[in-house]
Amino acid sequence: MTDRFFYDADGELFRSHGELEAHVSELQVQMKAAAANLEFEKAAALRDRIKQLRTRELGLAVPASSIVITGGSRPALFAAYQLTIEPGDRVVFTVPSWNNDSYCELAGATAVPIQCGSDTAFLPTAVMAGLLVLIGWGLIDLAHIGHVARTSRREGAVMIGTFLAALLVDLEFAIVVGVLFSLIVYLQRTSRPLILDVKPDPAAGSYHFTADSGLPDCPQIKMVRINGSLYFGAVDHVARAFAELAAQNPLQKHLVIVASGINFIDVAGAELLAAEARRRRSAGGGLYFYRMKDEVRTLLERGGYLDAIGAENIFAVKQRVIAAIYPRLDAQICRAAHARIFAECQDVLPNGEPRARPPAG
């Protein structure tokens, strides 16, 4: 086996890492001595030589700016205080110790000395345990916890469950439990998107749909707004809602969905919409969408589901959905209907026949 040799910048030979480390340690002593004697040029040269050795031979890339030359250890300790301590911070240190009280005063920190002795190997065992409890209690924001509990019972339950798990089991497992609780709450909330009954806004010139119009249902068109994403977890809930709508009024063969509240859709949701469109078309009606988001439409196009729905049944904002659907309705049902909730059905029937005017009183 061939020995590996190491050379410093001056060509000096070292037969092992041990010899090289000893040489680096000697250079460090010389550097500190030069700094103490105010020979800063010499100290800087020694610092650069140490950096070269550590970079080339030891594989430790330490920039020169990260090497600080001090005249003894006290300036280095004070520099560490200045870097890590903010004014007003509490600094806990054992007594006896070296100048920590002075460093705290210079840094503007609050000194918390702990008296230790040889019986505890100068380690603050009992006092440190009490301080840890005190510090831990200070980290608990009771006001915020109460606010979360009042705002959302679900999130409050997740918080309590995670807290109990942290007390009873390992912290790592408690974090996993908290993540799982949050996931269950999220899935439970998003798996039941809100489906609202809506009607065209009766205000003159309005193209919106509203849930507060007070208008009755059209005998042939059902209009709803879905507030929530259509993904695998929500498919069952939405499918049951579609079935209930069809069972409540079989004559409402046309379904208009205000889709502005559908943020995203997956393959399961797309298959549901395509199946519903085919079912309504076979029954003589159709499935229509108003204000569908681009992301949702892109997925329907990419998967070929838009072919089943029909691109002509997707209406952008400000397009008149009812005006496009009205000619497809059954004129006989419209003739007998008492509720005329659309502007399109006030004067003519879907087949273009003028409506009979009630006789003048």
* pLDDT one-digit tens code per residue, 335-344: 888 878 888 8
pLDDT tens-digit profile of 27-67? 888 888 888 888 888 888 888 887 777 676 656 666 766 76
Distance, CA of 338 to CA of 344 (rounded, Å): 14
Q: 125 in a domain, yes or no? A: yes
Whether residue 336 sits in one domain with residue 238: yes
Q: 318 in a domain, yes or no? A: yes
Instruction: Quickly state the pLDDT bin for 17 (edges 50, 70, 90).
Output: low
Tell me, what amino acid is at 75?
P
- Would you tell me the crossing angle of helices 100-107 and 73-84 to the nearest 10 degrees? 40
Q: What angle do CA 277, 201, 205 make, to 5 degrees?
A: 110
Overall number of domains in the chain: 4
pLDDT reported for residue 15: 55
pLDDT reported for residue 3: 44
- The closest of 126, 127, 105, 99 to 114, measured between CA atoms, is 127
Could you give the 3-state DSSP secondary structure of residue 75?
Answer: helix
pLDDT reported for residue 186: 84
Bridge partners of 110, per DSSP, are 90
pLDDT reported for residue 126: 66
Section 201-222 average pLDDT: 85
Whether residue 296 sits in one domain with residue 267: yes
Whether residue 327 sits in one domain with residue 248: yes
CA count, 13 A, side-chain hemisphere, 34: 16
Query: Domain ends where: 71, 97, 127?
Result: 71
Whether residue 54 sits in one domain with residue 131: no
pLDDT tens-digit profile of 307-359? 999 999 999 988 889 999 999 999 999 888 887 888 888 888 998 888 876 55
Whether residue 80 sits in one domain with residue 22: no
CATH for 215: 3.30.750.24
Whether residue 86 sits in one domain with residue 21: no
Distance, CA of 331 to CA of 87 (rounded, Å): 82
Whether residue 119 sits in one domain with residue 256: no
Written in H, E and C, the secondary structure of 228-297 is: CCECCCCHHHHHHHHHHHHHHCCCCCEEEEECCCCCCECHHHHHHHHHHHHHHHHCCCEEEEECCCHHHH
Structural domain boundaries, residue 248: 194-345
Whether residue 296 sits in one domain with residue 239: yes
Q: Which of 3-7, 142-146, 230-234 has the lowest mean pLDDT?
A: 3-7
Distance, CA of 144 to CA of 346 (rounded, Å): 57
Could you give the 3-state DSSP secondary structure of residue 310?
Answer: coil
- Residues counted in the chain: 361
CA dihedral of 36, 41, 45, 50, whole degrees rounded to 10: 30
Residue 331 token pair: 């004129």
Could you give the 3-state DSSP secondary structure of residue 74?
Answer: helix
Distance, CA of 273 to CA of 332 (rounded, Å): 29
Residue entry with tokens 């008149």: 320
Query: Domain ends where: 71, 98, 127?
Result: 71
Distance, CA of 152 to CA of 182 (rounded, Å): 12
Distance, CA of 72 to CA of 98 (rounded, Å): 13
Over the Cα atoms of the chain, what is R_g?
Answer: 38
Residue 334, Cβ neighbours under 10 Å: how many?
22
